[in-house]
């Protein structure tokens, strides 16, 4: 992936890189990891292993060296320099690079900070950037987390890159080296937390809390710990019942509370730095407090009390909605659900509870507005949930680089406290002064040799980590950085890969469901076009296309009132046809096919045009990629080419199904006379 270990051709090893001094306790595993990663990277780049010098507070070696050290352990002069560099950094995970004489020092307050600093120096080395340049970097988010939807049987829900890295046949069963490499990849992009099992917790994973499974889980935790990553488990709210211990899982029943305390105590005996629980409750048939007439606060706080003595967190998902809706009832609206459920509970959750909110109000569609719940919760810790795995965005058969979409989400101004109330500031906890916050991404990896099935899908994992660390980064720059780290520094290769990545989300949007309408996919697996796949179902994801028009009226004036969940001026922006952005038009309004967009085109002509354009964009990607033949190793080159060719066929299928669907609905021909099947 992006930690390539090819030699850096034509470069001699710069003198300071020949020696390494580590200041800090040698028994500190993360510190040793930092030193080991740096040593490994230098050796790979120059074929020369840095000499490990013994730290000595008074005697410096004469030759220049790289130092890595925890601030209090540093020799005096360097300590002052380091403390000053880190002065403004608020996070324990911050690092600084300072240079003294010819030496380069990576300094931090914690071993984890040093590890991130070491990876930053490695990145500079591979990108050919100046190693000496002083810098300080502090993560924007305290929690930078991956949610694995892995099942104990080895399958991965919405996984498109093979089987689980952690489980096989109902057992914790893993290749230690592979998992350690995975931990390296994650640490290198700043990830510090991982939930290792699916939010849909089945009977086997329910037993993860028991002595039968905890020793194996602890072995996984041991690997991740060396890379500064804390392990979380998804739990089944009905565990006390399902494991046969109690007749109830009522969160207000003292026996239930005691049961969870005992479970937490047991987990911490095996995993002293266990992160906590991730919970999907009362959502899509998962059990929860509603069964007992209780609410989310009762459920989350009960678990939070069990974890609090150990410093654990409850991450409670806001993905709660009625999945038994009636398509005949046009007044009810799934988009409203998360806000309607959670805003009345604002301020009632304990301090070690976070509410994890999907970026959009529906479900990871290629285009959705930002969930209004971000602006709705003021006295509750929240977390942003993104989907790195491409469930609705091509399933890692199509290239779809999601960083530009995520960036729009992070930059979105909720106006919850006036201008500048961005999702990035809310998710980190800063806007409302919350003690916890962060970002979680649903993982896109499996045991496929290239981790993500499609090589280019690695860019999404990389970008997720980089944005969780620093949401101000530019997605194009991240793409460039990733391309260079992954494919080497030939300018043309880097430019082309960046261009393909940057074109890919717009292309995917263009040839699939139009103008924010979403969900025109096949039911169940969610791949490929099926404009009415969910139209008469109970899932609440409708578009209401008829012979005159399409879209969901979510206005306050005549629709479901969803726009009212936003603060002004966003509310009015979406409420009115005149101001609603084109790309979200059908999410908020039901309009005739002849309605003129701001672009000047009619809705129907926009649909036809974008669907032809989307296919053209894929054709362009194929040509661009082909020009890289011979300049990328043949294995990766051929695999990506094969995927792109497949993507072309898939895009054609989408184009033709969608265009024909709308042509048949409205009978309006394409004004450019292109082939639309009758
Ligand atoms: C989507 C997805 C499910 C998943 C759910 C969730 O609906 O299709 O597989 O379980 O989201 O986020 O809980």
Residue 255 has pLDDT above 60, yes or no: yes
Confidence of residue 379 (pLDDT cuts 50, 70, 90): very high
Residue 60 has pLDDT above 70, yes or no: no
Residue 659 has pLDDT above 70, yes or no: yes
Distance from residue 623's CA to the centre of ligand 1 (Å): 35
Alpha-carbon span 573 to 173, nearest angstrom: 52
> What do you get for the CA distance between the two ends of the chain, in Å?
45
Residue 363 in contact with ligand 1 by CB distance below 6 A: yes
Report the pLDDT averaged over residues 591-603: 98
Alpha-carbon span 78 to 512, nearest angstrom: 56
Residue 256 has pLDDT above 60, yes or no: yes
Going by C-alpha positions, the residue among 441, 461, 556, 369 that lies closest to residue 193 is: 441
At 411 the pLDDT is: 98
Distance from residue 155's CA to the centre of ligand 1 (Å): 15
The minimum-distance atom of ligand 1 relative to the CA of 199 is 13
Render pLDDT for 554-596 as a digit per residue (tens, 0 to 9): 999 999 999 999 999 999 999 999 999 999 999 999 999 999 9
At 11 the pLDDT is: 80
State the Cα torsion 5-470-382-565 to the nearest 10°. Answer: -120
The DSSP output letter for 26 is: T
The minimum-distance atom of ligand 1 relative to the CA of 200 is 10
Residue 62 has pLDDT above 80, yes or no: no
Peptide bond into 569 cis (omega under 30): yes
Render pLDDT for 394-416 as a digit per residue (tens, 0 to 9): 999 999 999 999 999 999 999 99
ipTM over 0.90: yes
List 284, 492, 546, 671, catalytic entry = 284
Percentage of the chain lying above the pLDDT 90 cut: 96
For atom 7 of ligand 1, which residue has the closest CA? 363
Of 148, 151, 158, 525, which is best to mutate to test ligand 1, by the most ligand atoms within 8 angstroms of its C-beta? 158
Alpha-carbon span 391 to 160, nearest angstrom: 8
Residue 59 has pLDDT above 60, yes or no: no
Residues in the chain: 678
Going by C-alpha positions, the residue among 188, 33, 191 that lies closest to residue 124 is: 188
419 is a catalytic site residue: no
Buried b (16+ CB within 10 A) or exposed e, 408-444: bbbebbbbbeeeebbbbbbbbbebbebebbbbbbbbb
Distance from residue 178's CA to the centre of ligand 1 (Å): 27
At 58 the pLDDT is: 52
Report the pLDDT averaged over residues 189-217: 98
391 is a catalytic site residue: yes
Report the pLDDT averaged over residues 246-255: 98
Render pLDDT for 449-490 as a digit per residue (tens, 0 to 9): 999 999 999 999 999 999 999 999 999 999 999 999 999 999
Average pLDDT of the chain to the nearest whole number: 97
Confidence of residue 76 (pLDDT cuts 50, 70, 90): confident
State the Cα torsion 405-406-410-415 to the nearest 10°. Answer: 40
Report the pLDDT averaged over residues 500-511: 98
Residue 359 in contact with ligand 1 by CB distance below 6 A: no
Going by C-alpha positions, the residue among 97, 106, 19, 23 that lies closest to residue 62 is: 19
The minimum-distance atom of ligand 1 relative to the CA of 157 is 9
Report the pLDDT averaged over residues 621-640: 97
Alpha-carbon span 478 to 463, nearest angstrom: 6
- ∠ CA(387), CA(478), CA(429), 5° rounding? 55
At 61 the pLDDT is: 62
Alpha-carbon span 51 to 31, nearest angstrom: 17
Distance from residue 150's CA to the centre of ligand 1 (Å): 13
Residue 199 in contact with ligand 1 by CB distance below 6 A: yes
Residue 158 in contact with ligand 1 by CB distance below 6 A: yes
For atom 2 of ligand 1, which residue has the closest CA? 158
Confidence of residue 246 (pLDDT cuts 50, 70, 90): very high
- ∠ CA(587), CA(323), CA(339), 5° rounding? 55
List 205, 333, 391, 498, catalytic entry = 391
Going by C-alpha positions, the residue among 331, 346, 351, 407 that lies closest to residue 379 is: 346
Higher pLDDT, 88 or 201: 201
Alpha-carbon span 117 to 95, nearest angstrom: 5
Residue 627 has pLDDT above 80, yes or no: yes
- ∠ CA(596), CA(602), CA(608), 5° rounding? 155
Of 281, 337, 360, 391, which is best to mutate to test ligand 1, by the most ligand atoms within 8 angstroms of its C-beta? 391
Residue 213 has pLDDT above 60, yes or no: yes
The enclosing H or E element of 239 equals helix 239-242
Residue 226 in contact with ligand 1 by CB distance below 6 A: no
Distance from residue 395's CA to the centre of ligand 1 (Å): 14
At 270 the pLDDT is: 98
Residue 157 in contact with ligand 1 by CB distance below 6 A: yes
From the number of C-beta atoms within 10 Å of its C-beta (0-12, 13-18, 19+), residue 378 rates as middle
Residue 55 has pLDDT above 90, yes or no: no
Confidence of residue 26 (pLDDT cuts 50, 70, 90): confident
- ∠ CA(449), CA(121), CA(77), 5° rounding? 150
Distance from residue 460's CA to the centre of ligand 1 (Å): 19
At 56 the pLDDT is: 72
Helical spans, DSSP H, in 372-448: 373-376, 403-411, 423-427
Distance from residue 385's CA to the centre of ligand 1 (Å): 12
Of 358, 363, 384, which is best to mutate to test ligand 1, by the most ligand atoms within 8 angstroms of its C-beta? 363
At 175 the pLDDT is: 98
Alpha-carbon span 124 to 118, nearest angstrom: 10
613 is a catalytic site residue: no
Q: Strand pairing partners for 98?
A: 105
Report the pLDDT averaged over residues 118-124: 98
At 490 the pLDDT is: 94
For atom 1 of ligand 1, which residue has the closest CA? 363
Give 281's contacts (C-beta < 8 A, 6+ positions apart): 237, 287, 288, 289, 296, 299, 316, 317, 320
Task: Check: CB of residue 86 under 8 Å from CB of residue 108.
Answer: yes
Of 157, 199, 284, which is best to mutate to test ligand 1, by the most ligand atoms within 8 angstroms of its C-beta? 284
pTM: 0.98
Residue 155 in contact with ligand 1 by CB distance below 6 A: no
Give 328's contacts (C-beta < 8 A, 6+ positions apart): none
Percentage of the chain lying above the pLDDT 70 cut: 99
At 281 the pLDDT is: 98
Residue 280 in contact with ligand 1 by CB distance below 6 A: yes
Give 17's contacts (C-beta < 8 A, 6+ positions apart): 42, 46, 48, 50, 66, 131
Alpha-carbon span 676 to 678, nearest angstrom: 6
């Amino acid at each position: 992936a992006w930690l390539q270990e090819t030699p850096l051709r034509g470069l001699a090893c710069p003198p300071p890189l020949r020696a390494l001094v580590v200041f800090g306790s040698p028994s500190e595993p993360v510190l040793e990891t930092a030193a080991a990663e740096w040593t490994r990277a230098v050796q790979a780049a120059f074929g020369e292993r840095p000499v490990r010098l013994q730290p000595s507070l008074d005697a410096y070696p004469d030759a220049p060296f790289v130092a890595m050290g925890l601030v209090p352990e540093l020799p005096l002069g360097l300590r002052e320099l380091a403390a000053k560099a880190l002065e403004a950094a608020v996070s324990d995970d911050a690092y600084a690079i300072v240079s003294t004489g010819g030496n380069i020092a990576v300094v931090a307050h914690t071993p984890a900070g040093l590890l991130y600093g070491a990876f930053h120096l490695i990145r500079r080395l591979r990108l050919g950037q100046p190693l000496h340049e002083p810098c300080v970097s502090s993560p924007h988010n305290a929690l930078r987390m991956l949610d694995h939807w892995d099942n104990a049987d080895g399958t991965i829900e919405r996984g498109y890159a093979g089987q689980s890295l952690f489980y096989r046949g109902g057992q914790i069963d893993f290749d230690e080296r592979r998992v350690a490499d995975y931990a390296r990849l994650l640490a290198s992009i700043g990830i510090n937390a991982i939930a290792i099992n699916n939010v849909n917790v089945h009977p086997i994973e329910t037993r993860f809390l028991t002595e039968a499974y905890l020793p194996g889980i602890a072995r996984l935790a041991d690997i991740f710990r060396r890379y500064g990553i804390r392990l979380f488990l998804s739990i089944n709210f009905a565990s006390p019942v399902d494991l046969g211990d109690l007749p109830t899982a009522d969160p207000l029943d003292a026996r239930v509370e005691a049961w969870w305390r005992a479970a937490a105590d047991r987990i911490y005996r095996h995993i002293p730095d266990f992160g906590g629980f991730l919970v999907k409750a009362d959502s899509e048939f998962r059990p929860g407090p509603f069964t007992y007439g209780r609410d989310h606060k009762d459920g989350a706080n009960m678990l939070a009390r069990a974890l609090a003595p150990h410093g654990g967190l409850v991450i409670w998902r806001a993905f709660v909605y009625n999945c038994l809706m009636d398509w005949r009832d046009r007044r009810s609206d799934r988009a409203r659900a998360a806000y309607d459920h959670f805003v009345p509970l604002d301020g009632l959750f304990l301090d070690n509870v976070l509410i994890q909110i999907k970026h959009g109000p529906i479900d990871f569609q290629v285009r959705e507005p930002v969930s209004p719940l971000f602006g709705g919760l003021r006295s509750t810790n929240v977390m942003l949930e993104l989907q790195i795995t491409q469930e609705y965005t091509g399933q890692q058969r199509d290239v779809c680089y999601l960083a530009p979409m995520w960036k729009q989400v992070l930059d979105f101004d909720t106006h919850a406290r006036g201008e500048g109330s961005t999702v990035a500031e809310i998710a980190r906890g800063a806007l409302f002064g919350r003690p916890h916050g962060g970002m979680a991404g649903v993982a896109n990896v499996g045991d496929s040799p290239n981790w993500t099935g499609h090589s280019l899908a690695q860019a999404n994992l990389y970008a997720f980590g980089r944005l969780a660390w620093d949401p101000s980064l530019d997605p194009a720059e991240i793409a460039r950085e990733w391309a260079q780290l992954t494919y080497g520094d030939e300018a043309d290769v880097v430019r082309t890969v960046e261009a393909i990545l940057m074109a890919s989300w717009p292309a995917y949007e263009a040839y699939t469901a139009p103008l924010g309408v979403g969900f025109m996919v096949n039911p169940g697996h969610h791949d490929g076009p099926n404009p009415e796949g969910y139209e008469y179902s109970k899932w609440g994801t409708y578009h209401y296309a008829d012979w005159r028009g399409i879209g969901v009226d979510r206005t306050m004036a005549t629709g479901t009132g969803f726009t009212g969940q936003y603060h002004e001026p966003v509310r009015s922006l979406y409420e009115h046809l005149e101001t609603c952005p084109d790309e979200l038009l059908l999410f908020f309004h039901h309009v005739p096919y002849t309605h003129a967009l701001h672009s000047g085109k009619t809705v129907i002509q926009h649909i036809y045009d974008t669907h032809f354009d989307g296919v053209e964009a894929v054709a362009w990607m194929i040509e661009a990629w082909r020009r890289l033949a011979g300049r990328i190793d043949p294995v990766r080159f051929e695999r990506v080419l094969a995927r792109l060719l497949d993507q072309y066929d898939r895009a054609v299928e989408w184009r033709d199904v969608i265009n024909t669907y709308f042509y048949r609905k409205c009978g309006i021909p394409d004004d450019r006379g292109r082939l639309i099947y009758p």
